Amino acid sequence: MTPHPLWLPAAATAHLRGRSIRVEGEHPLLQTVRAEATAAGMHPAEDGDVVIRPGAASTPDSFVLAVGDGNVTAEYADAAGALYAWFEIVRQGAAVFAGAGRRTCAPAHALRMIDHWDNVAVHPVMGQVERGYAGVSLFFDDGLLREDLSRVDRYARALASIGINRIAVNNVNVHEREVHLLTDDLPGIARIAAVFRRWGIRLHLSVSFATPLMLGDLDTADPLDDRVQEWWRATTTRVYEQIPDFGGYLVKADSEGQPGPFAYGRDHADGANMLARALASHDGLVHWRAFVYNHRQDWRDRTTDRARAAFDHFTPLDGRFDDNVIVQIKYGPMDFQAREPVSPVLFGMPHTRLGLELQITQEYTGQQRHAVYLGPQWAEILSFRPHGQTGSALAEGLGGGMAAVANVGDDPFWTGHPLAQANLYAYGRLAWNPRLDPAAILDEWVPLTFGDDPIVRSGIHAILDGSWAAYEAYTAPLGVGFMVTPGTHDGPSVDGYEYSPWGTYHFADRDGVGVDRTAATGTGFAAQYPEPWRSTYETLETVPDELLLFFHHVPYTHRLHSGKTVIQHIYDSHFDGVERVRQAMQTWEGLAGRIDPAVFERGRERFAAQLQSAIEWRDQITTYFARMSGVPDDQGRTYR
Amino acid sequence: MTPHPLWLPAAATAHLRGRSIRVEGEHPLLQTVRAEATAAGMHPAEDGDVVIRPGAASTPDSFVLAVGDGNVTAEYADAAGALYAWFEIVRQGAAVFAGAGRRTCAPAHALRMIDHWDNVAVHPVMGQVERGYAGVSLFFDDGLLREDLSRVDRYARALASIGINRIAVNNVNVHEREVHLLTDDLPGIARIAAVFRRWGIRLHLSVSFATPLMLGDLDTADPLDDRVQEWWRATTTRVYEQIPDFGGYLVKADSEGQPGPFAYGRDHADGANMLARALASHDGLVHWRAFVYNHRQDWRDRTTDRARAAFDHFTPLDGRFDDNVIVQIKYGPMDFQAREPVSPVLFGMPHTRLGLELQITQEYTGQQRHAVYLGPQWAEILSFRPHGQTGSALAEGLGGGMAAVANVGDDPFWTGHPLAQANLYAYGRLAWNPRLDPAAILDEWVPLTFGDDPIVRSGIHAILDGSWAAYEAYTAPLGVGFMVTPGTHDGPSVDGYEYSPWGTYHFADRDGVGVDRTAATGTGFAAQYPEPWRSTYETLETVPDELLLFFHHVPYTHRLHSGKTVIQHIYDSHFDGVERVRQAMQTWEGLAGRIDPAVFERGRERFAAQLQSAIEWRDQITTYFARMSGVPDDQGRTYR
């Protein structure tokens, strides 16, 4: 089966067919633009309908788009700016020729990255793609690097079209086989890098901190050991010999069993800087993940709080990281739950380049069997104002840009659920411009992907627009998180992680539920925030309902700002959430005959699975809390 | 490493060294006896200290042992009787020559079987040995039948020494690869059968009901289809051509996804009899398992009761099974829990040959990391009187004998935990004589295995004698069962199966816990028992404490016959159980230097793991119920 064209079907360039174009300048990326124009049915002309030329724009990747008299002129700052201008012209459709005016388009972040968690060898537990729900890797298959990279080329084009300019191609959990990507497999990696280069995307590798040990070259990986430093310098130089625009290293160190500097009594700055110095002369970066916590916690210990861990580990190191180190921080203090507060580390290290890490792959948000559009979640995070309404938004302080874990694989629809493509699209668009309205992004993505049928446009918009809120409603309540099946993280298991070493607890008992993270009586996590959030989260009167159980342990009869009790909210939101899935399913059914039958059928399968799963979530959660609390649902809907 | 000698070290025959023996008769098994005697250092003599000859005994496998004037004479009914007489003489040690008198030794059951759940190919989830905790299979390794069967020979000898005379060598869940054992692999199976034959043990195979389909020979497995019947007749004849004493087929049909006659609108009698007729002329048996239930139950459905299933499925078929069909029934109505009532199917089909199935492998009883001696459990089951104290014991009504799931593998100690050997030993002894006192069996096994040191004898006796009760105390309370981690069944997960399709629920809520299986208000399972048990179990006043939650849902404040409340019993038993593990561990430590260091070290590792696991059981169970019930432990020991 031909892979789905994502948001770049032939129809997406119909408005350009037969028109003329002139692309000025010499650069491989400009060749890419010219080839794109030819493929779109344009012809070169001295005085084109579209002119792309060097000019007014100045910041990297940017361009100025001037429209008038039916002509479009894009003046680019650099060749990447030309490429992005091209895709802007594609994206705007026929309307691009109709307007008049001039505007500068520049990305909010220089680094707009995708992280793949792809393994080369199929991992016995995690499979080929860790937390992948869309088939096997586009790069690797069953122990080998793929020979045929045509699918990678299509993927790179789609990423370029939404502004992605960095990609890490392998899993941050670097296993035995994958260590060799950095050495023996370099020729293959260079082939992959060449495909991405054509689309303005620089390739990064995830590396194990213990690589010199694992390859048997040294008996230590101590970052302060001369031999280790020299090993990384020499190895890195060899990488650049084959991949001159290599992006750098992504590292998960001293986290969930991965090796790191702690083994040698060194800290994260020692570790990250050692790698950074091997990369610096090559314009390479270290992305050093802040996802560090004790994953062997004793559940009996109510004082240790995983939510505190990244802040406690990293903020004392603020100012010690080299300039080419980015500390990459998950959006929340736990792990990609449907709802968490924004991690205070993201604004707790003013002297460090910080990068935001999001998860496009739906590990905790329905595993691409549930239609869940994450744009609104990400927009909310990016617009969070760490110092209150008068301060700037989070997105404005991210010197390290953004990265997100990929949701694609060799599935014909790329993402398992065809509607999950929207998340990949929205991620790219928000990384470019965090102020975009996620609903508007939908209205941009739907016609690009599905065409102009107004019923399809409004139907898919209706399905996706409130889908994150619906998912939140029928899963774990009020920010409590982690009521998932251990291991797979698929489907509900209320107590699945309650007596585990993973630090993810809800502490439900017959009287109440939630985690006391206040400074007054709890773990003190709330005090990691600056004002006004510290007080907002600390106080029951001000904590937002959706984060209540993240910060407080409350009785079931506690009243939310909404006026409902916690227990009645649990019942209502779960029954309501399932009804919203039913409506989405009906809306999809109404699109039969209006969209590609293969897409429709795949969607139909997924909605059936989503409904079944949502009902299971609803019934397990409400039954659990009905049994626990003894408080009946005021509409009598729960089981016992 | 040389495998452990089990209960047959050289020392076990020291009392026979230098003595004379005469073995009369001609039969391969008598050659086995002569070889054993030679290996024990005996020499043949016309007028031996030991004489084994045909004579007084009449029932199969039996012998009469006459002792006097320092001589021992065994008169056997058949060659198997001679073999068992030999091992009786070994087992009695030096004392055998000291006594005087004459007694007949005959097994209670003609069929004393071991069932292996060994796969040929490593199953992706279940591994090589399903529910195996002692390494890989003795027969198969990684997709192949083993060439070297010397270890199988040692195993067969050990089984013969405790009276085992039947063995099924492969898993009752017959996967793709294992279907071929019945056809392509027959030469290899015949080699394994030859090893067992030398020790009086007949080999059986587990077969899939869908074999003719799976091999691609037919398009149906309908038991009433002539072609299917003919296929099984021809296939079975080919088996007997290579294995003339082949024992027969063991079948798990229409159970947990295995195929069976239901697919063709036929019932279990149709299915079993079809196979039985293919086997009858060859003196072959069908063991047809009664472990049939709906494993896709909706947990919301409180009327369906898995405990009822086997009785509901099978008792209507009573009288319809051919004479060479044995309906093989797990000891309890659920699945090998540490505590269940005896299954009413075991005395609910008076016109059917019924076999009892036990589980030596410790799937639900500590997975051979916990030292748990199951002899007392089995003795209690065998001595259960289905019709009350004036009726006969269960063991007397088992026309189909006994079978038990093996606990051995290629581990140097055979059973992972060296003390788990006691269970294999006790099973054989109880299958021969169900009236044996399990504590006396221990006193027989310990010196055979560990020698005569009285501190070792009393120490290991102390460790094992109450170990089942201790395990019960620190795991799932009062007969409720199934609070284990889904899948592995290893360690606690109180709600792990509570919202699953497996039919294994405890229904704990803030007010109480347990399953109402009464006829009056529950599922009616209690009414499957004849009197007096029906009333005993039905009534709160008479139900035994240890089965309370199996039959009743009660408030936490319900008072047991012991005088304690249910909730305080949960607390006390768990804390007490862990203390008993600590004592056992200390006792083991006291044996350092007195037993084989390798055995000691392995035991030490296991006790450390057992203690850790027991503490986890204790803390998770008591915390769960403290949170649920809100009733404090009167000694203040629980977490919250």
Within 10 angstroms of residue B636's Cβ, the number of other Cβ atoms is: 7
- Report chain B's mean pLDDT, rounded to a whole number: 97
CB contact under 8 A, B620 and A499: yes
Judged by DSSP in three states, B565 sits in strand
**B512 CB within 8 Å of a chain A CB:** no
CB contact under 8 A, A627 and B508: yes
Are B23 and B37 spatial neighbours (Cβ–Cβ below 8 Å)? yes
**B493 CB within 8 Å of a chain A CB:** yes
- Shortest distance between the Cα of B479 and any Cα of chain A, in A, equals 21
Are A171 and A218 spatial neighbours (Cβ–Cβ below 8 Å)? no
- Shortest distance between the Cα of A629 and any Cα of chain B, in A, equals 7
HSE (side-chain half, CA atoms, 13 Å) at B249: 33
Residues of B in contact with A508 (CB under 8 A): 627
Judged by DSSP in three states, A65 sits in strand
CATH 3.90.1330.10 boundaries in chain B: 472-515+553-629
Superfamily of domain covering A10-105:
Chitobiase/beta-hexosaminidase domain 2-like (3.30.379.10)
CATH 3.20.20.80 boundaries in chain A: 112-434
**Residue A410: closest CA among A23, A146, A38:** A146
In the residue annotation, B335 being an active-site residue is answered as yes
Question: In angstroms, how far is the first alpha carbon of chain A from the final one?
Answer: 47
**A493 CB within 8 Å of a chain B CB:** yes
- Which tokens in the block code for residue A147? 């020979």
Instruction: Specify the pTM.
Output: 0.95
What chain B residue is nearest to A508 in terms of C-alpha separation? B627
**pLDDT of B187 strictly over 80:** yes
- Active-site residue among A61, A75, A130, A363? A363
State pLDDT tens for residues B13-41: 999 999 999 999 999 999 999 999 999 99
Instruction: Choose which CATH entry (3.30.420.40, 3.60.20.10, 3.90.1330.10, 3.30.2130.10) describes domain A472-515+553-629.
Output: 3.90.1330.10
Q: What is the mean pLDDT of residues B549-578?
A: 98
CB contact under 8 A, B630 and A494: no
The Cα A245–Cα A238 span in angstroms is 12
- Shortest distance between the Cα of A576 and any Cα of chain B, in A, equals 20
**B351 CB within 8 Å of a chain A CB:** no
**pLDDT of B349 strictly over 80:** yes
∠ at Cα B400 (B398, B405), nearest 5°? 100
**pLDDT of B507 strictly over 80:** yes
pLDDT over 70, % of chain B:
100
The Cα A8–Cα A199 span in angstroms is 15
**Residue B172: closest CA among B405, B355, B346:** B405
Residues of B in contact with A300 (CB under 8 A): 619, 623, 639
State pLDDT tens for residues B109-158: 999 999 999 999 999 899 999 999 999 999 999 899 999 999 999 999 99
Judged by DSSP in three states, A628 sits in helix
**Domain A112-434 -> CATH class:** alpha beta
* Residue A382: pLDDT band with limits 50, 70, 90: very high
What's the pLDDT score for residue A1?
73
CB contact under 8 A, B628 and A628: yes
Q: What is the mean pLDDT of residues A317-336?
A: 98
The Cα A91–Cα A78 span in angstroms is 20
Residues of A in contact with B574 (CB under 8 A): none
B224 vs B6, B264, B276, B352, CA distance in Å? 47, 9, 13, 21
Are A526 and A512 spatial neighbours (Cβ–Cβ below 8 Å)? no
The Cα B363–Cα B358 span in angstroms is 11
∠ at Cα A63 (A60, A66), nearest 5°? 170
CATH 3.30.379.10 boundaries in chain B: 10-105
**pLDDT of B318 strictly over 90:** yes
Q: What is the mean pLDDT of residues B382-393?
A: 97
* Residue B434: pLDDT band with limits 50, 70, 90: very high
| Backbone φ and ψ of A144, nearest 5° | -130, 160
- Report chain A's mean pLDDT, rounded to a whole number: 97
**Residue B158: closest CA among B31, B41, B8:** B8
List the single residue in B493, B496, B509 with the smallest CB-CB distance to A627.
Answer: B509
**pLDDT of A481 strictly over 80:** yes
Residues 607 through 636 of chain A touching chain B, CB cutoff 8 Å: 616, 619-620, 623-624, 626-630
* Residue A446: pLDDT band with limits 50, 70, 90: very high
> Residue A616 carries which DSSP code?
H
The Cα B551–Cα B564 span in angstroms is 18
The Cα B384–Cα B391 span in angstroms is 10
- Which tokens in the block code for residue A185? 């497999």
State pLDDT tens for residues B92-109: 999 999 989 999 999 999
- Active-site residue among A24, A176, A219, A256? A256
**Could you tell me where the DSSP H helices lie in A172-319?**
186-197, 211-214, 226-242, 268-280, 306-314
- Which tokens in the block code for residue B488? 């592995």
- Active-site residue among B256, B323, B452, B634? B256
Are A321 and A269 spatial neighbours (Cβ–Cβ below 8 Å)? yes
What's the pLDDT score for residue A640?
77
HSE (side-chain half, CA atoms, 13 Å) at B330: 23
In the residue annotation, A256 being an active-site residue is answered as yes
What's the pLDDT score for residue A99?
85
Judged by DSSP in three states, B629 sits in helix
**B508 CB within 8 Å of a chain A CB:** yes
| Backbone φ and ψ of B554, nearest 5° | -130, 155
State pLDDT tens for residues A523-548: 999 999 999 999 999 999 999 999 99
The Cα A403–Cα A172 span in angstroms is 13
- Which tokens in the block code for residue A361? 């792959």
**pLDDT of B1 strictly over 80:** no
Judged by DSSP in three states, B38 sits in helix
Q: Is the peptide bond before A9 cis (omega within 30 degrees of 0)?
A: no
* Residue A265: pLDDT band with limits 50, 70, 90: very high
- Which tokens in the block code for residue B37? 């005697």
What's the pLDDT score for residue B40?
98
The Cα A547–Cα A530 span in angstroms is 17
Q: Which residues contact B5 (CB under 8 A, 6 or more apart)?
A: none
* Residue B56: pLDDT band with limits 50, 70, 90: confident
